[in-house]
Structure 1
Amino acid sequence: MTDFTPLEAMEGMTLVKPTEPSDDTLLAGYLRHYRLGVLLKDETTLHVGNIEAMPYRLWTQVWTPPQPRGTAIIVHGYYDHLGLYRHLLELLLEENLQVVMWDLPGHGLSSGERADIEDFAEYGQCLRQLQQRLTDEGLANGPWLGLGQSTGASILATDTLSHGDDDHWLGLVLLAPLVRPWNWTRSAWVHSIVGPFVSSVPRRFRPNSNDTDFTTFLREQDPLQPLRLPTGWVTAMRRWMPQLMELPSSQLPTLIIQGDNDLTVDGPWNLTVLEGKFPNATIHRHPEARHHLVNEIEPIRRELFEQVRQFINLLLVTAAVDARSQPICSNSRASQR
């Protein structure tokens, strides 16, 4: 398999033009391997490179269609990287949204110990730093629509609940969100026994989607997949779980989607918790979907993405109406003075 890690040395953000089949650069090969390059069409632009979010360098892509209606940021799941989110990227571009994607620390082409983190708070700090730097460089602007898969959903939920309703987020889409993993009682017991003596264990590639082509790709054709599970990451997750439970609720519009065949996170228990944290949430469950919802088989993905599409459009229409009414209110107040 091709080694894409030299791309970690790219400085800053570079504007990428549509690649020709003969383009043999490593970046072009990366875009082809993850089938991202085909989305560079209809005047859509792509900036790609590394953003400093101390102490990490984050591999980042900013996709911008003509006259975007808003800005969405995708936060991927554990073991993942942004190259696996082509389907969701395509959906958002179809809805004429600017899309920011990035690799979490220790994942994909971002810096950091592979698949590890000292504290879950670092994820949230990277998220806010990344958004601020993109804003400062004129590459993206809020308010932001956040879409997260699994651990990415937990990062977005924690950020929202930690900052209150600060108008930073227009809304959230939480896909198979992590609050606690599936079969957590047994896993926590094993971690308590083994964790102090072992720094990592081999990763087991369980089928996390009904799409066998996708699960085969993860196991056999993706050079950016971590092969070990650091026990330090599990320790950080165990510290984060009660912290999330203590955070106050948020009124932010939220869509939560969960598959009933998910054997990665404890879906029913997690939904109960998140219903309390996001009382305005719309919850959609699918009886056949597994965990990796953005890479489910096409019939399931089409149904789930339609839920996402409807939710996003309602948010954007509401935001547009609010934006149009704001100057009118201001002018009316001015004329009365």
Structure 2
Amino acid sequence: MWKWETEQQPKAVVVILHSAYEHHRWYAWLIEKFRSSHFHVVMGDLPGHGEQGKYTTYHDEDFKEYYKYTKVLLKVALEYNVPLFIVGNGLGAAIATYVLQNNKIECAGVVLASPWFNLKLAPGKLSNALSSFSAITSNVKLKHELEPHHLTRNTDVLMELKEQLPLKSMVTVKWYRDWQQMSRTIRNPELKFPDIPVLLMTGENDKVSDISTSKKWITEHTLSEFHYKQWKGCLHSLYFEVEREDVFKFTIDYINNVLRDLGYIIE
């Protein structure tokens, strides 16, 4: 993992969790935006991603590794002794939700961008059938037909990511089954999410995750404070989109309002 510290007095610390098949370098723009806005940033690569996934052709990580990794990131961030915010994108947003749902963590607020609570674009045409079969199918490989044009309309971002493509989006049935189990747990209305401020954002034209599931999830929980924002015309990865400056400003306004409610003076 890595730390990027603001040169000013920090308002808070932000932990960023990236989505599947990505790594932290994709988020250089977002990291610098937070840092220059007086926030420390802690981020790394999910297990099996980044340098760890450099020599592999598919993902077969146990999701327990993702949860353990996330808790380590949060522990490191809390050492700054300033309010902690989590910003998760795609799969990272779902992992953040699961970890907060199942652990007591001192978190001031969470931003969930296009969370993978339910997928429109799932790995493999037969994935739903295969994932219900016996353990014999666990190592069967599935192609997740996720392409850069599903993520953003921003040609500048696509050019920035050109050297880091194509996406390594081959997964095993076991990996997909783990995701299904996580998503079912998240969507279980009997399992309460902690009463912390939540900003959940989706793209109107998201072709990857099911935005109706995300909206249903946020309205089913009895939270004291939550905000739902659907960005008109946007695709899946809001922080990569043409409107990313506006998306970031919306995020910062939310975080600053939470900090004010906690008694911090925000200039």
With normalisation by structure 1, the TM-score equals: 0.67
Deviation at 1:211, TM superposition (A): 1.4
Aligned position for 1:316: 259
In structure 2, the CA distance between the partners of 1:212 and 1:116, relative to structure 1 (3 Å rule), is farther
8 Å CA contact 2:11–2:83 kept in 1: the answer is no
Aligned position for 1:212: 155
Aligned position for 2:196: 252
Q: Equivalences for 1:161-310 in 2 at 5 Å? A: 161-163=101-103, 166=105, 168-182=106-120, 188-192=127-131, 196=137, 199-206=140-147, 207=149, 208-215=151-158, 218=161, 220-222=162-164, 225-246=167-188, 247-277=191-221, 279=223, 280-297=225-242, 300-310=243-253
RMSD after superposition:
2.9
Q: Deviations over 1:86-129 (max 9, x none)?
A: 222122112200001110001112479653322x3332221112
Q: Equivalences for 1:115-194 in 2 at 5 Å? A: 115-118=59-62, 120-133=63-76, 140-163=80-103, 166=105, 168-182=106-120, 188-192=127-131
In structure 2, the CA distance between the partners of 1:81 and 1:278, relative to structure 1 (3 Å rule), is farther
Deviation at 1:169, TM superposition (A): 0.3
Q: Deviations over 1:198-217 (max 9, x none)?
A: 62234534212111343455
Instruction: For 2:49 and 2:222, locate their aligned partners in 1 and report how far apart those are by CA, in whole Å.
Output: 28
Aligned position for 1:3: none
Determine which structure has greater relative contact order: mean sequence separation of CA pairs < 8 Å that are 6+ residues apart, divided by chain length: 2
Deviation at 1:259, TM superposition (A): 0.3
Aligned position for 1:48: none
* Secondary structure of residue in 1 paired with 2:33: helix
8 Å CA contact 1:80–1:107 kept in 2: the answer is yes
Q: Deviations over 1:37-89 (max 9, x none)?
A: xxxxxxxxxxxxxxxxxxxxxxx110011221211110001111110112221
- Which one-letter code corresponds to 2:51 in the other structure? L
Deviation at 1:133, TM superposition (A): 4.8
* Secondary structure of residue in 1 paired with 2:109: strand
Q: Structure 1: any 5+ residue segments left out of the alignment?
A: 1-59, 323-337
Q: Deviations over 1:156-175 (max 9, x none)?
A: 111222235x5x10100111
Identity over the aligned pairs, expressed in percent?
A: 21
Instruction: For 2:18 and 2:138, locate their aligned partners in 1 and report how far apart those are by CA, in whole Å.
Output: 30
Instruction: For 1:197 and 1:125, locate their aligned partners in 2 and report how far apart those are by CA, in whole Å.
Output: 22
Instruction: For 2:47 and 2:116, locate their aligned partners in 1 and report how far apart those are by CA, in whole Å.
Output: 18
Instruction: For 1:255 and 1:215, locate their aligned partners in 2 and report how far apart those are by CA, in whole Å.
Output: 26
Instruction: For 1:211 and 1:289, locate their aligned partners in 2 and report how far apart those are by CA, in whole Å.
Output: 10
In structure 2, the CA distance between the partners of 1:255 and 1:191, relative to structure 1 (3 Å rule), is same
Deviation at 1:196, TM superposition (A): 1.7
Instruction: For 1:197 and 1:116, locate their aligned partners in 2 and report how far apart those are by CA, in whole Å.
Output: 9
In structure 2, the CA distance between the partners of 1:183 and 1:128, relative to structure 1 (3 Å rule), is closer
In structure 2, the CA distance between the partners of 1:197 and 1:306, relative to structure 1 (3 Å rule), is closer
Instruction: For 1:162 and 1:203, locate their aligned partners in 2 and report how far apart those are by CA, in whole Å.
Output: 28
In structure 2, the CA distance between the partners of 1:228 and 1:303, relative to structure 1 (3 Å rule), is same
Give the aligned length. Answer: 254
Instruction: For 2:222 and 2:52, locate their aligned partners in 1 and report how far apart those are by CA, in whole Å.
Output: 31
Larger Rg: 1
